[in-house]
Amino acid sequence: MEEKRTLMKLRRDYNERAEIPITSQRLAEVAGVALADEFLMELGRPVSAEVARRVIKTFNALTGQHYTFADIEVSLKKLRFPRDTATT
């Protein structure tokens, strides 16, 4: 089984052979996410599922590739639910 690669590794590998490289800033702007969130995802740090979905979709569109959550090392933030403070 092939080891998952980080978004940073995929982007750098793509940029080595691309005529027009994809910067983190361009990827974030086109995806409509904060640059900080895109960069955290590149590093494999936790991001929201929505940020990850947008970035992967945009990366696919810009590269002509088809990556999924199964292909990329993605760490998702845990959902936090408010505590039920109502008394019974």
Number of structural domains, the chain? 1
One-letter amino acid of 65: Q
Please indicate, yes or no, if residue 20 is contained in any of the structural domains: yes
Cα 88 versus chain centre, distance: 42
Please indicate, yes or no, if residue 23 is contained in any of the structural domains: yes
Please indicate, yes or no, if residue 42 is contained in any of the structural domains: yes
* Helix, strand, coil percentages, rounded to 5, for the chain: 50, 5, 50
Please indicate, yes or no, if residue 29 is contained in any of the structural domains: yes
pLDDT for the residue numbered 84 = 64
Please indicate, yes or no, if residue 34 is contained in any of the structural domains: yes
Reported confidence tier of residue 79, pLDDT bands at 50, 70, 90: confident
User: What are the pLDDT digits (tens) for 28-57?
Assistant: 999 999 999 999 999 989 999 999 999 999
Please indicate, yes or no, if residue 21 is contained in any of the structural domains: yes
Please indicate, yes or no, if residue 85 is contained in any of the structural domains: no
pTM, entire model = 0.86
